[in-house]
């Protein structure tokens, strides 16, 4: 049996053993792909059973319970990101929310510029390119490399900037953005800051209130150990100024009277669309509760220890690392190896799971151990030298 030297930043063995016992996926191999899809805890099985019971014995007033479940999940997310209760809403995916947010603006010059980076998940440029037809002046800032040139981004901020949209951590390199600095600079010129935090919420702390950030989007199926749901936070005092054109009846002030609304629902619900889908929030609550129980600061420390081990082993093996080596990295370490897609498949055949998006992406979470990281690096070494 391998005995990997401990790292004081790791979760204590009792906490971690209890956490690992909740995730059956971990018994199928070495699972280091939480940046792609997080493991789902076994408690989700009971949620599925209960859901079927609900459908089997259907009555319309089930909706009352479902709304309680939807609100509970949204408020748990709010607590995790330092947002007030009632300031977070869930829907099917991040793209839906971002497009709805983009529909709030009239893109009239002079303030019609949308600044994004070349590190965005592809949905971000795709959506804002579509808004060019309404006058959005899209400007993509980047180096073409795996890091953000934050100076270059901030140099573009001026009174013409309507929105600046950044990933908290890049999905392809794990490089993070210095949000306090960006928010301060953007607010000086009256621009709104939109953060895609899909790659950080659940593995890195984020306090939206302390940051004063305007909009944060994320989703459940990676670091939050959930399935099929995304979330939106909008700074509460900004909400009344935003009116989405892409909308639906649930966003109205009279939604539950089933008559046409004349105004917006109070609060973040004005960003709703049609009938919500409760199952994914109910399922995702289980993982969120487990992670919140461990605490996101402890998870971040553990993550830094495991990603440091990846970095050290990669350096020792002469494997090029794309992610930042310092603590500006997120939860993933990206390795530049030849024939990465094939290597990933060969590793998977050995029960060692990571993902590939131009680089080999290795994303250990709170439920992973240093031993698993070493097993991964041993297997990778063998595959690269076979
Ligand atoms: C940074 C980032 N944003 C967004 C998404 C997904 O967006 P959506 O929920 O619209 O599929 C992902 C990955 O799936 C991601 O890594």
Q: What is the pTM for the complete model shown?
A: 0.97
CA of 94 to the centre of ligand 1 (A): 6
Residues 6+ apart with CB under 8 A from 64: none
Which ranges of the chain would DSSP assign to H, the alpha helix?
13-21, 43-56, 62-80, 94-102, 123-130, 150-155, 179-188, 208-211, 278-294, 296-317, 340-349, 370-384
Q: Of the ranges 65-69, 141-145, 292-296, which one carries the lowest mean pLDDT score?
A: 141-145
**Mean pLDDT across the chain:** 96
Structure confidence at residue 243 (pLDDT): 97
Stretch 61-83: mean pLDDT = 97
Q: Which of 162, 139, 138, 141 is nearest to 153 (CA)?
A: 141
231 lines ligand 1 (CB under 6 A): no
Domain extents in the chain? 13-31+295-384, 48-291
Name the CATH code of domain 48-291 (choices 3.30.2010.10, 3.40.50.2300, 3.30.420.10, 3.40.640.10): 3.40.640.10
Instruction: For ligand 1, say whether the CB of 227 is within 6 Å of any of its atoms.
Output: no
Residues 6+ away with beta carbon under 8 Å from 337 = 319, 320, 343, 359, 360, 380, 384
pLDDT at residue 167 tops 90: yes
Q: What is the pLDDT of residue 6?
A: 82
Output the CA 347–ligand 1 centroid distance in Å: 24
Provide the pLDDT for residue 143. Answer: 83
- DSSP letter at 126? H
The confidence band for 1, taking pLDDT boundaries of 50, 70 and 90, is low
Residue 40 beta carbon below 6 angstroms from any ligand 1 atom? no
Ligand 1, from 93, 198, 216, 224: best to mutate by most atoms within 8 Å of Cβ? 198
**Pocket-testing residue among 38, 101, 121, 227, ligand 1, by greatest number of atoms within 8 A of Cβ:** 121
For ligand 1, atom 7, name the residue with the nearest CA: 94
Query: Is residue 171 within 6 Å of ligand 1 at its C-beta?
Result: yes
Q: Which fold has domain 13-31+295-384?
A: 3.90.1150
Listed residue (174, 237, 132, 181) closest to 364, CA to CA: 174
pLDDT in tens, 18-66: 999 999 999 999 999 999 999 999 999 999 999 999 999 999 999 999 9
Rounded to the nearest angstrom, the distance between the alpha carbon of 165 and the centre of ligand 1 is 14
Ligand 1 contacts CB of residue 124 (under 6 A): no
Residue 183 has a pLDDT of 98
């Amino acid at each position: 049996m391998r005995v990997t030297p401990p790292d004081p930043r790791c979760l204590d063995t009792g906490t971690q053993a209890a956490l690992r016992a909740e995730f059956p996926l971990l018994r199928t191999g070495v699972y280091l792909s939480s940046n792609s899809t997080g493991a789902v805890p076994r408690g989700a099985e009971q949620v599925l059973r209960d859901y079927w019971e609900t459908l089997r014995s259907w009555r319309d007033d089930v909706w009352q319970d479902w709304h309680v479940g939807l609100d509970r999940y949204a408020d748990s997310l709010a607590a995790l990101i330092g947002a007030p209760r009632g300031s977070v809403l869930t829907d099917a995916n991040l793209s839906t929310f971002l497009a709805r947010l983009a529909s709030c603006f009239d893109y009239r010059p002079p303030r019609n510029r949308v600044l994004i980076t070349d590190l965005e998940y592809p949905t971000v440029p795709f959506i804002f390119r579509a808004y060019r037809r309404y006058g959005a002046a899209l400007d993509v800032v980047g180096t073409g490399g795996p890091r953000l040139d934050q100076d270059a981004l901030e140099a573009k901020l001026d009174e013409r900037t309507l929105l600046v949209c950044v990933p908290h951590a890049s999905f392809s390199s794990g490089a993070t953005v210095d949000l306090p600095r960006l928010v301060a600079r953007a607010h000086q010129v009256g621009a709104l800051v939109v953060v895609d935090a899909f790659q950080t919420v659940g593995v890195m702390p984020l306090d939206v209130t302390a940051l004063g950030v305007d909009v944060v989007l994320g989703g459940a199926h990676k670091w939050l150990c959930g399935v099929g749901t995304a979330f939106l936070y909008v700074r509460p005092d900004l909400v009344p100024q935003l009116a989405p054109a892409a909308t639906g009846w649930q966003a109205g002030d009279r939604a539950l009277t089933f008559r046409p609304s004349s105004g917006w629902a109070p609060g973040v619900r004005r960003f709703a669309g049609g009938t919500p889908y409760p199952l994914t929030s109910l399922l995702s609550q289980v993982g969120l509760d487990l992670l919140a129980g461990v605490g996101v600061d402890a998870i971040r420390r553990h993550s830094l220890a495991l990603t440091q081990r990846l970095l050290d082993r990669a350096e020792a093996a002469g494997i090029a690392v794309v992610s930042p080596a310092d603590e500006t990295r997120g939860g993933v370490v990206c390795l530049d190896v030849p024939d990465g897609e094939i290597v990933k498949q060969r590793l998977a055949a050995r029960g060692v799971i990571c993902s590939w998006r131009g680089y080999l992406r290795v994303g250990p979470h709170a439920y992973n151990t240093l031993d698993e990281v070493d097993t991964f690096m041993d297997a990778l070494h063998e595959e690269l030298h076979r």
